[in-house]
Amino acid sequence: MTRCVLVIDDDPDQRRWVERLAAASGWKVLTAADGEAGLGTAQEQQPSIIVLDVMMPRLNGFQTCRRLKADPRTKDIPVIIVTAKDQPADEFWAGEVGAAAYLAKPVDARDLLDLLERLTERA
């Protein structure tokens, strides 16, 4: 089974960074530039895991995660929140909306890869 990560981030540089990092480690990578597009991609493609930014247009990451977890088609896909928002309240809300993990930017590449591996081992 091919491991697949969906990267939802409105910053093209951040999307490309995660895409290159994951692809170099053997992951198939899908991307979306906002929460609305990400929801559709997640429903259609059923990725193994999702890396999700918080501050985005249309739907922010917390709203997107809440919708992913409310949808029977996507509720079991682990979500890693990756964001510049680094306050304890932000990490609290990530957990409240169902995220499996929370990383504040700048993200260490090894930390992100370790989370991708660890969170998809359970699947």
4-121 maps to CATH 3.30.70.100: no
What's the 3-state SS for 38-107?
A: HHHHHHHHCCCEEEECCCCCCCCHHHHHHHHHHCCCCCCCCEEEEECCCCHHHHHHHHHCCCCEEEECCC
* Percentage with pLDDT > 90 across the chain: 88
Instruction: Assess whether pLDDT exceeds 80 at residue 56.
Output: yes
8 Å CB contact between 4 and 48: yes
pLDDT for res 58 = 86
pLDDT for res 85 = 83
Instruction: Assess whether pLDDT exceeds 60 at residue 122.
Output: no
pTM equals 0.95
Instruction: Assess whether pLDDT exceeds 70 at residue 12.
Output: yes
What ranges do the domains of the chain cover?
4-121
Q: How many CB atoms lie within 10 A of CB 86?
A: 11
Residues contacting residue 20 through CB under 8 Å, at least 6 positions apart: none
* Mean confidence (pLDDT) of the chain: 94
For residue 37, give Cα distances in angstroms to 3, 85, 91.
Answer: 20, 22, 24
pLDDT for res 1 = 59
